[in-house]
């Protein structure tokens, strides 16, 4: 997944992807979330997405871990762009504290 920087995301919204180039960011090879394809039965079995999360990151990690607990997840080759949006509050707090974020999948942000 190629995480696009905030300034470049703004230009993409304003001008369109091709007109906004060059675009800068960073690559994450094992980020949870992204483009996830699964059967309706699997989605229902894990209870879908938790609507209690705010921002991005927490809900993907939570959902991914619940799916991974009951199904093998295959990662396909390739890379795709991820437009910038605010991180979940619990991730921002962890980043500012200098401590690693503990993936507490049993609780959502409040």
pLDDT: which is higher, 25 or 30: 25
Rounded distance between C-alpha atoms, residue 110 and residue 108, angstroms: 6
- Domains of the chain, residue spans: 2-97
Only one residue has tokens 């960073």, namely 26
Reported as a single tens digit per residue, the pLDDT across 73-106 is 888 888 888 888 777 676 667 767 776 555 554 4
pTM confidence score: 0.60
Reported as a single tens digit per residue, the pLDDT across 31-68 is 776 788 899 999 999 999 888 877 666 788 889 889 99
**pLDDT at residue 105, as a whole number:** 43
Q: How many CA atoms lie within 13 A of 42 on its CB side?
A: 15
Rounded distance between C-alpha atoms, residue 76 and residue 73, angstroms: 10
């Amino acid at each position: 997944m190629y995480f696009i920087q905030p300034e470049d995301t703004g230009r993409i919204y304003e001008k369109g992807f091709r007109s906004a180039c060059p675009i800068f960011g960073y690559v994450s090879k094992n980020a949870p979330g992204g483009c996830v394809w699964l059967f309706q039965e699997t989605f229902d079995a894990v209870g879908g997405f938790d609507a209690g999360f705010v921002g991005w990151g927490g809900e993907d990690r939570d959902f991914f871990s619940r799916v991974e607990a009951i199904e093998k997840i295959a990662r396909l080759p390739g890379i795709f762009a991820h437009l910038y949006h605010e991180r979940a509050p619990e991730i921002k707090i962890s980043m500012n504290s200098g401590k690693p974020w503990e993936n507490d999948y049993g609780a959502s942000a409040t």
